Amino acid sequence: MSLTQTPPMPTRDISLEGRGEPIGDKIFRWLLLTALLLSMLFLVVLISFLVIKGWSRLDSRIWTNMPNPRRPQLAGAQSAIMGTIWVVGTTAIISIPTGIAAAIYLEEYADRTKRFNQLIEVSIQNLAAVPSIIFGILGLAFIARRLGLGFTVITAALTLSLLILPTVIIATREALRAVPQSIRFGSLALGATQWQTIWKQVLPAAIPGIATGQILALSRAIGEAAPLLLLGGLTFVTTNPTGLDSAYTVLPIQIYNWISLPKEEYQILAAATIVFLLILLLAMNAVAIFIRNRYQKRL
Amino acid sequence: MIKFFLIGCALIAVVTTALIFLSFIQPTWEFFQLVTPMEFLFGTDWAPTFKPASYGVLPLVAATLLISFIALLVAVPLGLASALYLSEYAYGSVRKTLKPVLEVLAGIPTVVFGFFALEFITPTLRWILSPFFDGDLPQIFNALSAGLVMGIMIVPTIASLSEDAMAAVPNSLRSGAYALGSTKRQVSTMVVIPAALSGIVAACVLGISRAVGETMIVAIAAGNRPNLTWNPLEGMQTMTAFIAQIAQGDASTGSIAYDTIFAVGLLLFIATFAMNIFSIRLVRKYREVYE
* Averaged pLDDT for residues B46-67: 84
Residue A224 touches partner B, C-beta closer than 8 Å? yes
Closest-CA distance of chain B to residue A279, Å: 11
Percentage of residues of chain B with pLDDT beyond 90: 41
pLDDT, tens digit, 9 for 90 and up, residues B225-253: 888 888 888 889 999 999 988 887 655 66
End-to-end CA distance of chain B: 34
Q: What is the mean pLDDT of residues B136-156?
A: 90
A34 contact partners, CB below 8 Å, separation of at least 6? B81
Query: What pLDDT does residue A12 have?
Result: 61
Alpha-carbon distances, residue B28 vs B17, B37, B61, B258, B282 (angstroms): 17, 10, 17, 10, 31
**Segment 67-126 of chain A within 8 Å of chain B by CB:** 98-99, 101-102, 104-106, 109-110, 119-120, 122-126
Average pLDDT, chain B: 87
Residues of B whose CB is below 8 A from A271: 115, 119
Q: How confident is the model at residue A73 (pLDDT cuts 50, 70, 90)?
A: confident
Find, among A285, A252, A288, the residue nearest to A84 by Cα. A252
Q: A24 burial class (0-12, 13-18, 19+ CB within 10 angstroms)?
A: exposed
> Tens digit of pLDDT for each residue in A95-147?
999 999 999 999 888 888 888 888 898 899 889 889 999 999 999 888 888 88
Helix, strand, coil percent values for chain B (each to nearest 5): 80, 0, 20
Contact A163, A224 (CB under 8 A): yes
- Summarised one tens digit per residue, pLDDT across range B86-138 is 999 888 788 888 888 888 898 899 999 999 999 999 999 888 888 887 767 78
Contact call for A141 and B23, based on CB within 8 A: yes
- Average pLDDT value for chain A: 86
Confidence of residue A11 (pLDDT cuts 50, 70, 90): low
| CA–CA gap between residue B290 and residue A52 (Å, rounded) | 49
Residues B80/B162, Cβ–Cβ less than 8 Å: yes
Q: Which amino acid is at A268?
A: I
B28-32 CB contacts, 8 Å cutoff, 24+ apart:
B28/B259, B28/B262, B28/B263, B28/B266, B30/B256, B30/B259, B31/B256, B31/B259, B31/B260, B31/B262, B31/B263, B32/B263
Percentage of chain B beyond pLDDT 70 is: 96
If you average pLDDT over residues B153-179, what whole number do you get? 91
Of A120, A226, A252, the CB nearest to B244: A226
pLDDT of residue B23: 86
Is the CB of A223 less than 8 angstroms away from the CB of B6? no
pLDDT of residue B110: 94
User: From the CB of residue A153, how many other CB atoms can be counted at a distance below 10 Å?
Assistant: 23
